[in-house]
């Protein structure tokens, strides 16, 4: 142990002792002051930065300092750049500077639950402090390209680069060099690294007692083909080490074919079947170069997708500290494996490439995913179970063994940023899925915060818990879903249906409920039952919700046994929708189909839409006779009205006969419940004057109600 490490450990020990000796009282304010005073005098964290691969460009948007140390900021994708470093325990003060502007006009720091505010703002520099290593997403001046800060704990188990049981790929007999991207050079480099893996496995196996031979990968950028990890092997990626996909289809084996993308797929780095005791760790990067591979049509005519890391038919697998970057398929896929741990991972995918999930737990058991940030267009965190003839399981190299259930899976302390589902059980439920926990998760941005999407299969989903989740931004739409939570069953591709039961949703902060509505939608013969909601705080509410209606669950079918805590009130009695199935007239159509009848058909999956980009846009309903009315409910699709009026008349033939009963210039979309003084009228319309989007005015359902009779 070096002198510096001894000093650091001794200092931490004394500091922790000081914490234990802090006088505690029954006065919370006094305790908070004592804690703040301690933090103010605690030693700042030491910061260790890493030199990124020469492959990566510096950010043109941001620069960053942490405790005065300059941290490299890497150009990521169009939606975010990122910085990665490690730090000791203690507070860290960031100085984040936004480039190509005059000053900081506005900012937000997520996760919002941390309550991080600026210490100061000077010109273009935002200064703020955290008390420990965190993964953060910072928005400045509403710039599309956000800043992701990935602070990891210090490495505690980095191996020596040489010695007994260390197989350094740059040393004899491997002599791997980073340079060279020709087919011959890539093939030779891949074979040499595979040789090191094989010898490390032999060493670890011969040592016994769970020992591992360590393949040491020094800093550098290594373009490689497929690797297979053997039992009793550890792969250590030194800071600055990057394993890089070549982007050439002819450098990779086809393992299966992705029907929905029309491309072959490869398991880039996978485990040997029936293997055990494998580890990938360090502070390096595994970069799939997925966009180039996806678009490579020169070598096979159609391009290819890659799963970057595939623990398949393995046990006691650990992955810790790595950046996983730019897959063109599901990035990390576990297959029929058990006893798996994924910790301190950064899943950095493009928000512009489809079907690039972060981590998918497929037919595996006893899995922990902890302290991980997942950014991808498709679902960052999900569980799935397939049948043997599904494309992913039945390719040129079929999944080994028999179909297995998903059991005992924990996702904890994670951040999801996606255009689809932040956290999801499903879609595949060919086998049972049970004992799945999502805890302390943050939905930074998603179309659906978290869900059980039972789309394929007759398996049962049971014992699922969503605990201490924080939903920040629900925007956009996945199919017809834009909500903080959904639970639904679909008979996808006629694969049958199965039930969902025993779902607990507890201690949830919903900052954005979504553009549409939450759903609990079972099917005949496949019910959703035994649901518990506890301490669900909806946007702007200081007290937990007491009904499903308050939680925005407005689409409900084939469900039962709902418990709401701490207080459960009766659901609002249904009113008579005076507009249901009545004749309707629209100003225009956004397609060839006549969608006007959908505006009041009672089906929240069908919609009416006016012509794109045209104001005004309107739709009116004939109630059949003059009726007393005082309420309208508009279920907006994503294309909602920012400014609109609710108008009534007894004669729609003359535009001047319409009169306003409600008007707004601040429409919010989603479900808008509009009340007004009671009037008598036969015709009622939504008259939109300013659209919220480039599209028209799109409404799932237009409902009209009157006073109790």
Domain ranges of the chain: 3-41, 48-153, 193-418, 427-572, 584-705
pLDDT digits (tens, 9 = 90+) for 621-648: 999 999 999 999 999 988 999 999 999 9
List CB contacts of 680: < 8 A, sequence separation 6 or more: 626, 627, 628, 629
Beta bridge partners of 162: none
Domain 584-705 has CATH 3.40.50.1980: no
List CB contacts of 593: < 8 A, sequence separation 6 or more: none
Residue 339 has pLDDT above 70, yes or no: yes
pLDDT band at 18; cut points 50, 70, 90: very low
Residue 9 has pLDDT above 50, yes or no: no
Q: Which of 57-66, 218-227, 601-610 has the lowest mean pLDDT?
A: 601-610
> Tokens at residue 324, please?
């996983």
pLDDT number for residue 575: 85
In this structure, the number of other CB atoms found within 10 A of the CB of residue 490 comes to 17
**Among 517, 422, 437, 541, which Cα is nearest to 472's?**
422
pLDDT number for residue 22: 36
Task: Provide CATH code, domain 193-418.
Answer: 2.160.20.10
**Among 627, 623, 649, 626, which Cα is nearest to 702's?**
623
pLDDT number for residue 270: 98
Residue 403 has pLDDT above 90, yes or no: yes
pLDDT digits (tens, 9 = 90+) for 146-178: 999 999 999 999 999 999 999 999 999 999 999
Residue 1 has pLDDT above 90, yes or no: no
pLDDT number for residue 638: 86
CA distance 404 to 136: 36
pLDDT band at 24; cut points 50, 70, 90: very low
pLDDT digits (tens, 9 = 90+) for 609-623: 999 999 999 999 999
Residue 155 per-residue DSSP state: P
Q: Return the higher-pLDDT residue of 239 and 555.
A: 239
pLDDT band at 301; cut points 50, 70, 90: confident
Mean pLDDT score of the chain: 93
Residue 20 has pLDDT above 70, yes or no: no
Identify the three-state secondary structure at position 265. Answer: strand
> Tokens at residue 69, please?
């140390």
pLDDT band at 3; cut points 50, 70, 90: very low
pLDDT digits (tens, 9 = 90+) for 670-688: 889 999 999 999 999 999 9
**Average pLDDT of the segment spanning 352-381:** 97
Residue 5 has pLDDT above 80, yes or no: no
Q: Which of 247-256, 296-305, 329-338 has the lowest mean pLDDT?
A: 296-305
Percent of the chain with pLDDT over 70: 94
pLDDT number for residue 23: 36
pLDDT band at 40; cut points 50, 70, 90: low
Q: Return the higher-pLDDT residue of 329 and 354.
A: 329
**Among 102, 47, 367, 45, which Cα is nearest to 239's?**
47
pLDDT band at 299; cut points 50, 70, 90: confident
Name the architecture of domain 48-153. Answer: Sandwich (2.60)
Residue 473 has pLDDT above 70, yes or no: yes
**Among 144, 140, 110, which Cα is nearest to 126's?**
140
Residue 27 has pLDDT above 70, yes or no: no
Whole-number Cα distances in Å, 21 to 6, 36, 45, 352: 23, 15, 21, 52
Q: Which of 109-113, 198-202, 298-302, 347-351 has the lowest mean pLDDT?
A: 298-302
pLDDT digits (tens, 9 = 90+) for 223-250: 999 999 999 999 999 999 999 999 999 9
pLDDT number for residue 6: 33
pLDDT digits (tens, 9 = 90+) for 648-670: 999 999 999 999 999 999 998 88
pLDDT band at 263; cut points 50, 70, 90: very high
> What is the phi/psi pair of residue 663, to 5°?
-150, 140
Q: Which of 84-93, 190-199, 516-525, 679-688 has the lowest mean pLDDT?
A: 516-525
Contact by Cβ (8 Å): 551, 659: no
pLDDT band at 700; cut points 50, 70, 90: very high
pLDDT band at 489; cut points 50, 70, 90: very high
pLDDT band at 605; cut points 50, 70, 90: confident
Contact by Cβ (8 Å): 451, 482: no
Residue 415 has pLDDT above 60, yes or no: yes
pLDDT number for residue 515: 81
């Amino acid at each position: 142990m070096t002198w510096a490490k001894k000093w650091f450990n001794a200092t931490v020990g004394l500091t922790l002792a000081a914490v234990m000796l802090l006088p505690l009282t029954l006065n919370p304010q006094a305790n908070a002051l004592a804690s703040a005073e301690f933090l103010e005098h605690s030693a700042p964290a030491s910061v260790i930065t890493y030199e990124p691969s020469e492959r990566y460009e510096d950010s043109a948007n941001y620069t960053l300092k942490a405790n005065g140390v300059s941290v490299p900021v890497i150009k990521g994708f169009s939606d975010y750049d990122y910085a990665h470093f490690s730090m000791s325990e203690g507070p860290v003060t960031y100085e984040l500077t936004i480039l190509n502007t005059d000053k900081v006009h506005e900012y937000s720091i997520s996760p919002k639950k941390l309550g991080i505010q600026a210490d100061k703002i000077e010109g273009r520099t935002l200064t703020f402090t955290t008390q420990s290593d965190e993964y953060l997403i910072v928005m400045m001046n509403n710039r599309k390209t956000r800043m992701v800060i990935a602070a990891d704990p210090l490495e505690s188990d980095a191996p020596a680069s040489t010695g007994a049981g260390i197989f350094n790929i740059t040393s004899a007999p491997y002599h791997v060099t980073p340079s060279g991207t020709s087919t011959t050079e890539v093939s030779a480099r891949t074979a040499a690294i595979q040789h090191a893996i094989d010898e490390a496995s032999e060493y670890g196996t011969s040592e016994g007692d769970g020992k591992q031979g360590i393949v040491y990968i020094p800093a550098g950028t290594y373009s490689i083909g497929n690797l297979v990890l053997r039992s009793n092997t550890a792969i250590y990626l030194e800071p600055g080490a990057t394993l890089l996909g070549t982007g050439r289809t002819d450098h990779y084996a086809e393992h299966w074919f992705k029907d929905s993308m029309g491309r072959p797929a490869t398991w880039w780095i996978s485990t040997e079947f029936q293997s055990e005791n494998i580890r990938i760790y360090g502070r390096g990067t595994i970069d799939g170069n997925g966009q180039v591979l996806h678009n490579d049509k020169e070598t096979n005519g159609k391009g290819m997708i890659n799963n970057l890391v595939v623990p398949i038919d393995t046990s006691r697998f650990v992955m810790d500290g790595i950046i996983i970057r730019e897959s063109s398929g599901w990035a990390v896929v576990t297959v029929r494996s058990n006893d798996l741990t994924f910790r301190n991972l950064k899943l950095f995918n493009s928000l512009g490439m489809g079907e690039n999930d972060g981590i998918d737990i497929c037919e595996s058991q006893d899995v922990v995913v902890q302290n991980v940030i997942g950014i991808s267009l498709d679902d960052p965190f999900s569980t799935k179970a397939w049948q043997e003839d599904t494309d992913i399981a039945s390719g040129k190299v079929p999944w080994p063994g028999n179909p297995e259930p998903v059991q005992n899976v924990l996702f904890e302390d994670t951040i999801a940023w996606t255009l689809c589902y932040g956290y999801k059980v499903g879609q595949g439920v060919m086998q049972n899925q049970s004992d799945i926990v999502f805890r302390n998760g943050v939905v930074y941005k998603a179309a659906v915060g978290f869900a059980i999407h039972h789309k394929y299969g007759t398996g049962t989903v049971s014992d699922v818990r969503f605990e201490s989740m924080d939903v920040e931004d629900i925007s956009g739409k996945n199919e017809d879903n834009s909500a903080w939570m959904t639970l639904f069953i679909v008979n996808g591709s006629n694969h049958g249906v199965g039930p969902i039961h025993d779902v607990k949703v507890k201690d949830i902060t919903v900052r954005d409920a979504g553009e549409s509505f939450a759903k609990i939608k079972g099917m005949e013969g496949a019910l959703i039952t035994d649901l518990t909601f506890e301490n669900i705080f909806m946007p702007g509410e200081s007290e937990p919700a007491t009904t499903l209606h308050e939680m925005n669950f407005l689409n409900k079918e084939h469900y039962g046994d709902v418990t709401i805590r701490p207080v459960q009130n009766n659901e609002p009695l249904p009113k008579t929708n005076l507009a249901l199935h009545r004749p309707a007239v629209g100003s225009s159509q956004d397609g060839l189909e006549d969608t006007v009848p959908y505006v009041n058909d009672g089906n929240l999956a069908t919609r009416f839409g006016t012509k794109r980009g045209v104001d005004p846009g309107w739709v009116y309903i004939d109630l059949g006779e003059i009726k007393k009315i005082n309420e309208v409910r508009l279920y907006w699709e994503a294309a909602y009205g920012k400014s609109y009026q609710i108008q009534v008349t007894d004669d729609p033939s003359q535009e001047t006969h319409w009169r306003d009963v409600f008007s707004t210039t601040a429409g919010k979309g989603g479900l808008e419940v509009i009340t007004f003084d009671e009037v008598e009228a036969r015709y009622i319309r939504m008259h939109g004057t300013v659209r919220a989007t480039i599209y028209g005015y799109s409404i799932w359902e237009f409902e009209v109600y009157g006073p109790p009779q």
